[in-house]
């Protein structure tokens, strides 16, 4: 069976987490939901993952940009972490807190994340970059598989909405145009 037929468009854990934020995200919900799914599938295409790793990736993916809407900001990484930590605590997954916090905090790191204790952090960083760059950076993901993911989860204005927010941010903070990026 080819990859396209293995793409689930309704993953229960992602739907549960994202659904609880639907009213906060509002009209940008479909775009964010699809971004989360695209980056999650990019992560799966970058590395063989066991079920526990898939669950970690899904939790981190659902929360990684949520601060955009919680604090209405482009400096969204810091406010994206507390809701993820709260979710982990509520669900008895506190042992994953450091790794998931790093996945969120480092997902816009411009250089490799090299701590071998947490290999999912680098996979997550790359998965987000593949989607954010519209596949300009693929890290070895075959174009046909990436196209299957993009077709299954249309952009739905995600990048356009980010660009609008970034433009408004830049007007107010011209000396700090991309606060979410780090070396």
Instruction: Give the CATH number of the domain where residue 24 resides.
Output: 1.10.3210
In the prediction, which pLDDT does 1 show? 35
In the prediction, which pLDDT does 4 show? 65
In the prediction, which pLDDT does 87 show? 98
Mean pLDDT of 138-146: 96
pLDDT digits (tens, 9 = 90+) for 77-106: 999 999 999 999 999 999 999 999 999 999
Is 183 within a domain?
Answer: no
Q: Domains in the chain: how many in total?
A: 1
pLDDT digits (tens, 9 = 90+) for 118-128: 999 999 999 99
Is 182 within a domain?
Answer: no
pLDDT digits (tens, 9 = 90+) for 32-64: 999 999 999 999 999 999 999 999 999 999 999
Is 181 within a domain?
Answer: no
How far is residue 2 from each of residues 19, 145, 148, 151, 155, measured CA to CA in Å?
29, 9, 10, 15, 23
Q: What is the largest CA-CA distance in the chain?
A: 51
Is 66 within a domain?
Answer: yes
């Amino acid at each position: 069976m080819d990859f396209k037929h293995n793409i689930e468009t309704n993953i229960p854990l992602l739907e549960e987490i994202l659904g609880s934020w639907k009213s906060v995200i509002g009209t940008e919900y479909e775009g964010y939901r699809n971004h989360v799914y695209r980056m999650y599938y990019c992560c799966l295409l970058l590395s063989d993952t066991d079920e526990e790793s898939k669950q970690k990736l899904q939790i981190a993916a659902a929360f990684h940009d949520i601060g955009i809407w919680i604090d209405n900001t482009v400096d969204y990484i810091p406010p994206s972490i507390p809701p993820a930590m709260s979710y982990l605590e509520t669900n008895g997954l506190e042992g994953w807190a450091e790794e998931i916090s790093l996945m969120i905090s480092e997902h816009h790191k411009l250089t490799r994340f090299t701590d071998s204790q947490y290999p999912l952090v680098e996979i997550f960083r790359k998965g987000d970059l593949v989607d954010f760059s519209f596949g300009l950076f693929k890290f070895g993901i075959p174009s046909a598989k990436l196209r299957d993911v993009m077709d299954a989860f249309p952009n739905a204005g995600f990048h356009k909405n980010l660009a609008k927010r970034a433009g408004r941010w830049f007007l107010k903070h011209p000396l700090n145009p991309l606060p979410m990026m780090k070396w």
